[in-house]
């Protein structure tokens, strides 16, 4: 008797949205995920958790080996939009400017990035995944069905971050924010491991003159077109 070969399991679709700091990616990505009832991976939050945990343990952010060793011991979970470290909700603690800078520093370490690959892949579950970050389309999910490179000028991004901080009643100095974005962009683009770069098959989405709704609709439309091909 000949047993028919099992038909290959279709891969769970991934939409990858990459781009620089403060481009509005997070907001847009979450709305696209909600519209499609997809899971959402905020990969930046992982680097923020590592920065937070290493800081708590007095580990130097530039010490690649110690940072990666610490990361391997962490139990990170996302539940209902909140981030948990070893069962403690640290969603607010990882969103400070200090931890944002730390995340950008630890993210340069290839050994740390390698330690976080399996965890990121584990988010790929049905019906689909919206992956948000810097290297989603280039390194982590190169087979993503749709890749978007979402960006805006540094000035637009600095204005957005400035407004965001004011809205949260946090200290906000426009010139300092602008300078910080230049530094983070240079670090993201210049690092040897998984630098911020637009994937060859990504679609560029410049959001300077777009509303959030327009950006979301653009991505949904492109996803529908990809799926109907
Ligand atoms: O707030 P911001 O957009 O700067 O950061 P985020 O998306 O929360 O990510 C925090 C930091 O993690 C960024 O500054 C990046 O350097 C780094 N990151 C990365 O290297 N790779 C990713 N896939 C996501 C974030």
pLDDT digits (tens, 9 = 90+) for 1-51: 666 666 555 689 999 999 998 898 999 999 999 999 999 999 999 999 999
Digit-coded pLDDT (tens) for 107-119: 999 999 999 999 9
User: Is the model's pLDDT at 122 over the cut of 80?
Assistant: yes
Query: Is ligand 1 within 6 A of the CB of residue 21?
Result: yes
- For the stretch 68-113, pLDDT in tens is 999 999 999 988 889 999 999 999 999 988 999 999 999 999 999 9
Query: pTM of the predicted model, to two decimals?
Result: 0.92
Q: Is the CB of 48 under 6 A from ligand 1?
A: yes
Domain locations along the chain: 14-222
Closest CA to 164 of 6, 27, 43, 61: 27
184 in contact with ligand 1, CB cutoff 6 A: yes
Cβ(105)–Cβ(58) below 8 Å? no
- CATH level 3 topology of 14-222: Rossmann fold (3.40.50)
**Nearest ligand 1 atom to alpha carbon 47:** 12
The pair of three-digit structure tokens given for residue 166, joined into one six-digit string: 């004011």
What separation in Å is there between the alpha carbon of 56 and the centre of ligand 1?
19
Predicted confidence (pLDDT) per residue in 156-208, tens digit: 999 999 998 899 888 889 999 999 999 989 988 998 898 999 999 999 999 99
- The answer, yes or no, to whether any atom of ligand 1 lies below 6 A from the CB of 103, is yes
């Amino acid at each position: 008797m000949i047993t028919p070969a099992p038909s290959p399991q279709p891969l769970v679709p991934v939409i990858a949205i990459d781009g620089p700091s403060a481009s509005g990616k997070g907001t847009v990505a979450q709305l696209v995920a909600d519209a499609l009832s997809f899971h959402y991976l905020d990969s930046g939050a992982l680097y923020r958790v590592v920065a937070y945990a290493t800081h708590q343990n007095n580990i130097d952010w530039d010490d690649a080996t110690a940072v990666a060793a610490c990361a391997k011991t962490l139990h990170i979970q996302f539940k209902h939009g909140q981030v948990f470290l070893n069962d403690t909700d640290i969603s607010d603690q990882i969103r400070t400017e200090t931890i944002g800078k730390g995340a950008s520093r630890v993210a340069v370490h290839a050994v740390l990035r390698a330690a976080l690959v399996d965890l990121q892949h584990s988010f790929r579950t049905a019906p689909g995944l919206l992956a948000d970050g810097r290297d989603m389309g280039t390194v982590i999910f190169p087979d993503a069905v749709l890749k978007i490179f979402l960006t805006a000028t540094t000035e637009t991004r600095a204005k957005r971050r400035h407004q965001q901080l004011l809205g949260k009643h946090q200290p906000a100095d426009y010139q300092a924010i602008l300078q910080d974005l230049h530094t983070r962009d240079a670090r993201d683009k210049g690092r040897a491991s998984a630098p911020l770069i637009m994937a060859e098959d990504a679609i560029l989405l410049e959001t300077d003159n777009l509303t959030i709704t327009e950006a979301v609709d653009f991505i949904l439309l492109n996803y529908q077109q990809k799926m109907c091909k």
